[in-house]
Every structure is written in structure tokens, then in C-alpha cells.
Amino acid sequence: MPNVAIVGATGAVGQEFLKILVERNFPVEELRLLATKRSAGKKVLWQGREIEVQETTHDSFKGIDIALFAGGSSSTEFAPSAVKSGAVVIDNSSAYRLDPKVPLVVPEVNPEDVKWHKGIIANPNCSTIIMAVALKPIFDLAGIKRVVVSTYQAVSGAGREGIEELEGQVHDWAQGEELKSQTFPYQIAFNLIPRIDVFQEGDYTKEEWKMVKETQKIFHVDTMPITATTVRVPVLRSHSESINIETERNVGLEEVKAAFQKAPGVIVEDNPAEDRYPMPWFTSDTDEVYVGRIRKDFSIENGINLWVVGDQIRKGAATNTIQIAELLL
């Protein structure tokens, strides 16, 4: 059984790792919990044993087989040391995602890419993972000519601080008090912010470029035309995406729905007559990607519209990471 280290064990994704290792019966010999100096010394109860959180150092990985990095600056600082110690790193940060020497993996889409890792495997951006799982059945069925995606991203995508800010603002609003914003550039309660991460080339945000470039890398189609608009919404958990796909060949809706019904990791929730479609409230704390509002785009010849929702802390981060670790086993 492998010895496993979790770097960032006390954060939202790290805590989710602990839950999912148990849920999926992942075999663990020793579990080493690592975090910043500030969190060192904390005790975590896991599987009936109390484990003390240690400060992450370059020597933290001796004897470790798999190191799960929850993300952040620790990846660039400590991942090379983990690899040097003989561990395989599965990394949730954006540090290695677009490095051509590092596989970027969504197990439902490109599991075979795990085979060529050189010590580090990157976990894609949460919105990218959710979209990639939904695109895969269509890609296999009819080819993809172009993708237009708009996201509706939950505040927990910005970590615990995002959740606390929304909850705090709703509370202050109800009390008639002034609303304070620190995590987001503007008030997020009762508002939408069409900017996630920093602005980059062409006035697209970093989050939007991640969805473009990471998806092209996962599907091994560097020229796949994708355009994205990413928006922060006052939802606690689960990202939603409106995806418009132009396919290479014309395909019937029944074929599309049948492809989704068979696809791993996808749940079809699509019954307009009964008002059934995916929503963040009902998809939170699950591992699947939910697809609904499947319909023809009548403005172009081979167009399909989808509404896709997935828990970005689980499938968008922690679950995908553990699934990659399962592929390593």
C-alpha cells in the first residue's frame, strides 16, 4: 500500500482529500499531513487515528509514494523536492498545467496520459474539468468544431475566504450594516462579477485562458477554437456552465443524449416537461458532472446547447486528483 502525503491538508481541498480517500477506499499505509507553519501542530482525526499536521519542508517527502498537492504556491516550492524523494506528485495548482512535459489529466477523458509522467501530473482547473467531462461524449460522437462557454462560478472556488465573504455580506445586509469586500473586487452578495483571476492578453482573464488552453491540451487538439467568459456568482458551491458546441458532423439530439447516458462520470438531468435540469444546490457534495437543457442551436448548422453543473471542490479538484492516484495504482 502506498504512503501518501497531503500538502495543504488543512484547506478546503485538503479536507476534501481526506473525505474522498475514505469514500473511495483508497489504500493508504502511512498518511502524512503537511501544511504551512501556521497550521503545524493541529491534530486531525482520520480513520480512527489522530494525525498531527506537520510544516511542509523540502525533507517532508522521504518514503512517500504519492504526494497530493492541494494547490497554491507550495507546488512550485515543494513539488520538485517531492519528486526528488521518489514521490509522484499530483498537483492542483496552475504551476505545471501547461508545461508540455507534464500530463494534464481528467480520467474520463485522457487517462492514458498518466503513463508518460516524469514525476508530476497536473490536475486541471475546476471549470476546465467540468467542461471536459461534458465535451468528451460529443467529441467522440461528432467531433468538435468550436466551443463557446460562459461560467457561473461559486464563491468556494476562491477558497474558504470566498464562502465567508458571501455569508458575511448576506448577514450584514440582513442586519442593515455596511457590506465589506476583501476576497472579491466588489460585493458578491446579490451581484455577479464578470472577472475571475487577473486580466491578461486580449482582456481575457487568466481563468478564461485556462479553460481555452487546458481543454486544448487535454483533448490533444491545440487548434480547437474555444472562447470563454467566466463569472463569479453568489452561490456557495458547484460551478455551472452554459456551453454552446458546434460539431464537425450533424448529429441528432437522441444520439447526443444516448452518448451522455453512457458516458462515465456524467448524470443526465434533462426533462423540461417536469422542470428537471441541473442546479448547484442539488449537485453540491457529489462527484458527477450533471448535464441538462440539451437542445439544438438553431442559429448554426451543427449546434448544440448544454447546461452543465458540477461540484468544483470535489470533481473540479479533490475527486479528480484521487481518481488520478487510482490510475497510478
312 appears as a binding residue in the annotation: yes
Say if residue 12 carries a ligand binding annotation: yes
**Is residue 319 part of an annotated ligand binding site?**
no
Strand order through the sheet with 54-55: 54-55, 31-35, 4-7, 66-69, 88-91, 120-122
CA distance 80 to 61: 10
75 annotated as a binding-site residue: no
User: Across the strands, what pairs with 305?
Assistant: 244, 295
The catalytic residues are 126, 239
Is 317 labelled a binding residue?
Answer: no
Is 38 assigned a ligand-binding role in the annotation?
Answer: yes
303 labeled part of a ligand binding site? no
157 annotated to bind ligand: yes
Q: How far apart are CA 31 and CA 324, in angstroms?
A: 17
Rg (CA), the chain: 20
Was 292 annotated as part of a binding site? no
Residue 195 annotated as lining a ligand binding site:
no
CB 168 within 8 A of CB 180: yes
CA 121/CA 306 separation, integer angstroms: 29
What are the Cα distances from residue 170, in Å, to 152, 182, 232?
19, 15, 16
State how far the Cα of 247 lies from the Cα of 159, in Å rounded to an integer: 35
Give binding residues for NADP(+) as ranges: 10-13, 38-39, 156-157, 312
Which residues are part of a known binding site for substrate?
153, 232
Which residues are known binding-site members? 10-13, 38-39, 97, 153, 156-157, 232, 312
- Binding-site residue numbers for phosphate are 97
